[in-house]
Amino acid sequence: MRNAIRISCNRHNLKVVRDFVTAFLATYHLSDVLLNQLLVAVDEVVANLIIHANGEDDSQFLNLKLSVEDQTFTIEIEDGSSSSYQPSSYREPDLHEFIRLGKKGGVGMALVNRIMDRVEFATANNHNVCRLYKRLT
């Protein structure tokens, strides 16, 4: 089974990514809840990189690699963005303040951090790398 893809930075490719992750994980017989949580987390990170880091520029690409080792699902997402988007500087939002203000965005990564066991971001040499880890048992 293929465990890596390259997509252009277009929102329409979010479905391609969801289908790719679903197909890869099919052999692990995950519960619907766990599978959907993983899809939400991956979708959020990929969407952030497509929209915020790469401005939905079709000439830019994301590389995704999936693996399962010792019952831990890992996805690595890498881009070649030279933008000022710095996911490695992410700070957890004050959700009570967001609710008080009626703010509608900015909580996606908080959700990703709650779903996944570990989230790593690095920004170096004009590219971002995100690694997401989730124990499957």
Maximum CA pair distance of the chain? 47
Least confident of 6-20, 21-35, 68-82, 92-106: 92-106
Per-residue confidence (pLDDT) for residue 2, from 0 to 100: 77
What letter represents residue 3's amino acid?
A: N
- Say if residues 46 and 17 touch (Cβ distance below 8 Å): yes
Give per-residue pLDDT as tens, 56-87: 999 999 999 999 999 999 999 999 876 655 55
Query: Alpha helices of the chain — where are they, by DSSP H?
Result: 13-25, 32-48, 95-101, 108-115
Query: Which CATH number is 4-135's, of 3.40.50.300, 3.40.50.670, 3.30.565.10, 1.10.260.40?
Result: 3.30.565.10
- Quote the pLDDT of residue 24: 97
